Each structure stands twice: as C-alpha cells, then as structure tokens.
C-alpha cells in the first residue's frame, strides 16, 4: 500500500479528529514516554506531546513519516514495521488509532507491544472491528463483478476482529484487558459528492489492483450507485465504520 500523505491530511482529517476521547482514555501524563503505533502524519503524536508526554511515532510508510516530520519537526518519528518494531527503552504506554486493522498478523504486533511496555504499562487502541465497512466492501465486490473483474479475497488488506477474538489474543500475550467496546460509528466523509471516491482512492486501492486501469472508474461509479441509497444523505457520504476500542495493562508491577 502506497500512501499519499498530502491527500490524507487534506481530505481525511476525521481520522484523528474523531480520536479526542481516545486520547482521554490514554490520559497522557507529563514526563511519560508514549509510543504512537501507526502514527500516520503525526497529528495524534503531536497531541500526546502537547499534553507533556514524550511522544514517539512509528509507521511503516516512509511517505507518512516524512510528512509527520514536516508537520512536527521537534518530535521523533521512525519508519518501523508494527510486526517487528523494537526500542532500547520501554514505554509507559503504547497508543494506536486507525492503524492495527492494516496488519494481518496481530499476534506479532501484540508481542512487540508487550515487549515495548514497562510492567504495568498500558495499551490503548482503536481500529476497525468485525463488520467494519461491510457495506462498502460488499458494494466494491459487486461492482468488480459487474465489470468482469471479480474481486480476489487475498486483495483485501484489512483485519477486522471481533471483540472476543482480539481480547483473547491480548490476554494470551500477557496484556490484561480493562476496557473493550465494539461500536458502530457512521462517519461523514469529507468532499461532498466526491467523498466516497476519495475514500476508495486513499484507503481501498488494493481492492482494485486486479482491475484493468481503464475499468476502475466504472467500478467506482458502480460502487457509488449501489451505496447511494443507504450511505449518501444531504450531500454527504457516510462510511459504515464499526470500531473496536480497548485498554489493556501489561502484567507485572510498575517499576
């Protein structure tokens, strides 16, 4: 997946603007060392730092990290893969917003999170849960079929677990779940009539890789036709988001 950070910042600010109460759940304290896992263009790392913590951001995308460094030149950002990241010093907390559903190997990610935390440290995250964007994906599948290019299941880049599935993974890896919620959050997309198209071109390009380039506009148009009755209201597209939000504590007494 290749990201366009300028498009991301310009058209998808809701990704971080909707995370204000997730920051409240994290409750950063002055002097704490907090890792923002999958930091994107760095806006939530910046909010964490503004509350007095030492915010460190990592992302697998070199393009996103370059933009994060441009947005927040005084903060530390590194290109690291969520499945294998390492730091010499442990963190008081690991935070992640709208990132973990991009990684299909959750146990590897959780093992890294556990290793990165101090005993008693906390993991606070929100990402797509079971049923997330089910209508959008279903419409894209139907549109691909309609133009003679059926969608291949292996091209779907996301992992949307149930609450029980993910909580069990955390518990097996030494992270005790304190809070966990799976909830619907219909999300207005910016851009008016072009909102769904912009969303697909930013987040769902993997689903169209198998479609010949001359047929892709028809796929997007057909997707819009299918979804318009349910997801387009008063000039605004609504994404059918379902989010998994949780807080877990690493076992062991704080040092």
Q: What is the pLDDT of residue 15?
A: 62
pLDDT at 152: 87
In the Cβ-directed half-sphere of 102, how many Cα atoms lie within 13 Å?
A: 20
pLDDT (average), residues 192-210: 93
Sorting pLDDT into bands at 50, 70 and 90, what band is 241?
Answer: very high
**Mean pLDDT of the region 189-206:** 93
Mean pLDDT along residues 221-234: 97
Mean pLDDT of the chain: 93
- Please give the full DSSP string across 113-171, using - where no structure is assigned: HHHHEEEEEEEEEEEE-TTTTHHHHHHHHHHHHHTT-PPPGGG-------HHHHHHHHH
Q: Looking at 16-25, 127-136, 241-250, which range is the least confident one?
A: 16-25
253 is written with which tokens? 């007494």
Query: What pLDDT score does 121 carry?
Result: 98
Considering only CA atoms, which of 163, 168, 171, 169 is closest in space to residue 130?
163
Which residues have a Cβ under 8 Å from the Cβ of 243 and sit 6 or more positions away?
A: 126, 127, 128, 129, 132, 182, 183, 185
pTM confidence score: 0.92
- Mean pLDDT in residue range 46-75: 96
pLDDT in tens, 112-156: 999 999 999 999 999 999 999 999 999 999 999 999 999 988 899
Secondary structure of residue 18 in the 3-state scheme: coil
Whether the predicted pLDDT of 229 surpasses 90: yes
Partnered with residue 240 across adjacent β-strands are 186
Length of the chain equals 255
pLDDT value, residue 253: 67
> Would you call 182 helix, strand, or coil by DSSP?
strand
Superfamily of domain 5-133+158-189+241-250: Vaccinia Virus protein VP39 (3.40.50.150)
């Amino acid at each position: 997946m290749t990201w366009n950070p300028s498009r991301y910042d310009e058209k998808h600010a809701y990704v971080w603007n909707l995370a204000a109460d997730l920051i409240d759940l994290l409750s950063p304290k002055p002097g704490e060392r907090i890792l923002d896992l999958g930091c994107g263009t760095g806006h939530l790392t910046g909010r964490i730092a503004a509350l007095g913590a030492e915010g460190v951001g990592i992302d697998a995308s070199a393009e996103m990290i370059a933009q994060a460094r441009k947005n927040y030149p005084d903060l530390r950002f590194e290109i690291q893969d969520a499945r294998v990241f390492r730091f010499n010093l442990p963190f008081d907390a690991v935070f992640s917003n709208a990132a973990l559903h991009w990684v299909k190997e959750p146990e590897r990610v959780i093992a890294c999170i556990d290793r990165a935390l101090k005993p008693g440290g906390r993991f606070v995250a929100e990402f797509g849960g079971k049923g997330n964007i089910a209508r959008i994906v279903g419409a894209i599948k139907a549109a691909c079929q309609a133009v003679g290019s059926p969608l291949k299941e292996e091209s779907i880049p996301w992992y949307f677990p149930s609450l029980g599935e993910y909580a069990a993974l955390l518990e097996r890896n030494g992270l005790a779940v304190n809070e966990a919620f799976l909830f619907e959050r219909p999300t207005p997309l910016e851009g008016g009539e072009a909102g769904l198209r912009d969303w697909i071109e930013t987040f769902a390009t993997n689903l169209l890789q198998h479609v010949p380039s001359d047929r892709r506009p028809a796929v997007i148009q057909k997707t819009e036709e299918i979804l318009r009755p349910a997801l387009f209201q008063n000039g605004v597209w609504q994404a059918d988001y379902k989010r998994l939000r949780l807080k877990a504590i690493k076992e062991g007494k704080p040092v």
